Amino acid sequence: MAESVRRLLSEEEVDKRIKELGVMISRDYAGKSVHLVCILKGAVFFMCELAKRITVPVTMDFMSASSYGSATKSSGVVKIVKDLDEPLKDRDVIIVEDIVDSGRTLAYLGKMLYDRGPSSIRICTLLDKPERRVTDVKVDYVGFEIPDEFVVGYGLDYDQRYRNLPFIGVVEFS
């Protein structure tokens, strides 16, 4: 079976939108600082670009969670593979994700991080597939809403491949 990637969002579109998100976040957090929590590995490209566009003081931390499930669907059971280095107490936290699909991963992580006592906690995702949502997780900043297709690039993988594509594409099999 041959595999190819059809372009869905160009590098220029993605970069332009990330700039806009940076402006929104800088405005919403004026006079404060933000603590960005990157969900590895998918959100790493997005978070680096986003952080560069935020003009209020920024700190960053990283965590890695794996959901038990197949390559293309999450199960809702989340295992913390690498926890944050620093406490969240009294910080204004933004969880940075690559994509919200069913919403199970973020529903779980959001609650877990909320219990650590941040002053506030919001969610920022590059991509959102609202059709697939099975939880009522609230997403505060969304780069793009996309249809129910499996996407790769800009950090997103298919079986660990394609993360380095500078654009967002759909994997197609023929």
- 128: contact with ligand IMP by CB under 6 A: no
User: Which of the stretches 15-23, 30-38, 50-58, 144-152 binds ligand IMP when contact is defined by CB under 6 A?
Assistant: 144-152
Smallest gap, in angstroms, from Cβ of residue 66 to Mg ion? 9
Contacts of 44 (CB under 8 A, 6+ apart): 38, 62, 155
Mark the segment that binds Mg ion (CB under 5 A) among 36-44, 81-89, 112-120, 136-144.
36-44
Chosen residue from 25, 37, 38, 42 binding Mg ion by CB under 5 A: 42
103 makes contact with ligand IMP (CB under 6 A): yes
Which is the catalytic residue, given 28, 85, 101, 115? 101
Which residue of 156, 165, 168, 169 would you call a contact of ligand IMP, by CB under 6 A?
156
Q: What single DSSP character describes residue 88?
A: -
Position 74 contacts ligand IMP (CB under 6 A): yes
Residues for the chain: how many in total? 174
Site stretch for ligand IMP (CB under 6 A), options 4-12, 22-30, 48-56, 147-155: 147-155
**Rounded CA gap, 122 and 141, in Å?**
8
Query: Which residues are bridge partners to 128 per DSSP?
Result: 100, 145
Q: Is 168 in the site for ligand IMP (CB under 6 A)?
A: no
Distance of CA 141 to the CA centre of its chain: 10
Residue 164 has which token pair? Answer: 């380095």
| 100 makes contact with ligand IMP (CB under 6 A) | yes
Which of ligand IMP, Mg ion, none is residue 125 near (CB under 5 to 8 Å by kind)?
Answer: none
Angle at Cα 113 formed by Cα 110 and Cα 119, nearest 5°? Answer: 105
> In 3D, which of 51, 38, 46 has the Cα closest to residue 11?
46
Distances (CA, A) of 16 to 51, 80, 123, 125: 14, 32, 19, 15
Catalytic-residue membership of 101: yes
Name the residues annotated as catalytic: 101
